[in-house]
Homo-oligomer: A and B are copies of this chain.
């Protein structure tokens, strides 16, 4: 069975790292059919639309999408794309690799970020010349769906410890957002209890203090949408930046994979971007399709190259995107 994957390079280094990830996918004994599509600043400059309807439809109808990065138009591209694939959870691992300079080398966490609501539901109003409001939305149904995913994730040993007993931490701000985050935390903790999964909780501000102080105390972290955005980016800072971080937007019957980094305009076009995040996103795609062993092979190859292979400039080396990609393909 062939998996139909829409490939959207987007802008900047997206045009370099996504082809690298596709090279890696093509080197695997898995049958993919790739379909190219456009999104981002460049296509907006041409057509007036950052996310052409055709791209949206292709992503919605495919088995999965691999996306690179978009510049100024990032939000106009990525938020509707998450909707196109009907994603309810954004899976964001942040792991420090041996040999890569990290503020906190012990960091090994996975954020499971609610991906449909919170402030991203985005009902905003300009009520007067002075005052604007935003309606933040939290439903029990979305919270429950996320919690069920989190429980399965942990039960399947997909957390950093690989241990079904490791449980998860819910990070929220229910002491202030009592009704909305109160609903979120209550539903998530209740689902965990029902399924016999260990769950504890942290206020998101306390979590932001404790994570840099001692990342080793955390594994899987479940959060509302914006909390997941900010806290996972904090974890990115602890492992040495966004250059290495993949992510998966998982839906019911579709998914979208993207490196967490942006377009890196300072180095775009030079062929020296670090393809690691895009390639690790491809590994998540491979695993999403059930090819767990192949996903692991990609991951192992990436780790091998990170520890003793060629390095791009962001990691202190002078290798090109192609060098790194070839080294990873070599190790598969």
Q: Do B242 and A209 touch (CB < 8 A)?
A: yes
Q: Do A176 and B119 touch (CB < 8 A)?
A: yes
Residue A241 CB within 8 A of the other chain: yes
Residue A103 CB within 8 A of the other chain: yes
Given contacts A131-B137, A137-B131, A141-B130, contact A209 B234 (CB under 8 A): yes
**Set B126, B183, B237: member contacting A212, Cβ < 8 A:** B237
Size of the A side of the interface (Cβ < 8 Å), in residues, is 54
Q: Do B139 and A131 touch (CB < 8 A)?
A: yes
Q: Closest CB of chain B to A245's CB: distance in Å?
A: 9
Which residues from chain B contact A122 at a C-beta distance below 8 Å? 176-177
Q: Do B137 and A133 touch (CB < 8 A)?
A: yes
**Set B134, B205, B242: member contacting A177, Cβ < 8 A:** B134
Q: Closest CB of chain B to A246's CB: distance in Å?
A: 15
Which residues from chain B contact A226 at a C-beta distance below 8 Å? 173, 176
Digitize A115-150: 1 where CB-to-B-CB distance is under 8 Å, 0 elsewhere: 000011010111001111111111111000000000
Chain B residue nearest to A225 (CB atoms) is B176
Q: Closest CB of chain B to A264's CB: distance in Å?
A: 12
Which residues from chain B contact A103 at a C-beta distance below 8 Å? 103-104, 212-213
* Complex A-B: 15 CB contacts under 8 Å: A79-B176, A120-B176, A122-B176, A132-B138, A132-B182, A133-B136, A134-B177, A134-B180, A208-B237, A209-B234, A209-B236, A212-B234, A213-B237, A213-B240, A213-B241
A binding-site residues for B, Cβ under 8 Å: 74-75, 79, 103-104, 119-120, 122, 124-126, 129-141, 173, 175-180, 182-183, 204-206, 208-213, 226, 229-231, 233-234, 236-238, 240-242
Task: Give the top 5 A-B pairs by smallest Cβ distance, nearest first.
Answer: A212-B237, A124-B179, A208-B234, A205-B233, A209-B237
